[in-house]
Structure 1
Amino acid sequence: MTYGKDVRRALREPTRELRRAIPGVYEGYAGLHDAVMARGALDQRTKELIALAVAVSEQCDGCIAAHAKAAVFHGVEPQEAAEAIGVTFLLNGGPATVYGARAYAAFLEYYEEQAQRHS
């Protein structure tokens, strides 16, 4: 199992069904996402590192997959992702070592895919 593509694939249809049931809620959440992730005092790559770390802390595989992919898209390097994930160990202990490993695997999955496209 991968922690990026497989998780996103498994969530695709249930998410579509829920989005059809509550489209306004999803539109509101999308607006919040766009506002939060817009470039400001913090750039998008920094915000994605924060989001990836929070996803580990919240033990959310879907969030991990989404923010690992977005972090790669915004130019985050493996060592930066690893160190951001490492911060979660301080505050979450053992569970962060499990979800942190999942997050790093998801990050590397997208990072290696991008590297292959650019080689």
Structure 2
Amino acid sequence: MSKMKQSIDEVMEMMGDLSKHQPESLRHFNAFMGEVLKGGVLDTKTKELIAVGTSITARCGYCIALHVKKALDAGANRDEIFEAATVAMLMGGGPAMAHIVEVKKALDEFA
């Protein structure tokens, strides 16, 4: 299994386990995430590109993998995703730039 897909699968498995112990908390978190990322004034693709950038500045490898995949699924292309990544680099500096490696891995795997 590929590294980025494995990362997503591991977190999804953990969320399944967590839902057994904290079902209401996880249900509310998932509902909130779905509400935030659905299309509104900003379409889903734009929101996922924002999520890619914030995932980079948060230095969350799993988040990067998930939101690159979701951005691609929403119609984003490599250039749009890399442009969002450079905005994150502006705000997050060198550490954010280093996490763009994870963006490239996810693009190579999912695009």
What TM-score, normalized by structure 2, do the two folds share? 0.90
What TM-score, normalized by structure 1, do the two folds share? 0.84
1:106 partner letter: A
Aligned counterpart, 2:28: 28
TM-aligned CA deviation for residue 2 of structure 1: 5.0
1:10 partner letter: E
Could you say what the CA RMSD is over the residues aligned between the two structures, in angstroms?
1.6
Q: Which runs of 5+ in 2 are unaligned?
A: none
Aligned counterpart, 2:56: 56
Show structure 1 runs of 4+ deviating over 2 A: 9-15
1:91 partner letter: M
Structure 1 residues 95 and 11: CA distance shift in structure 2, 3 A: same
Structure scoring higher RCO (CA < 8 A, sep ≥ 6) equals: 1
Aligned counterpart, 2:108: 108
Identity %: 31
Q: Which runs of 5+ in 1 are unaligned?
A: 112-119
Aligned runs of 1:1-119 on 2, under 5 Å? 3-111=3-111
For the Cα contact (< 8 Å) 1:2–1:105, is it kept in 2? no
> Distance in 1 between the 2:105 and 2:17 partners?
28
- Farther-moved stretch of structure 1 (7-16 vs 54-63): 7-16
Number of residues of Structure 1 aligned to a counterpart in Structure 2: 111
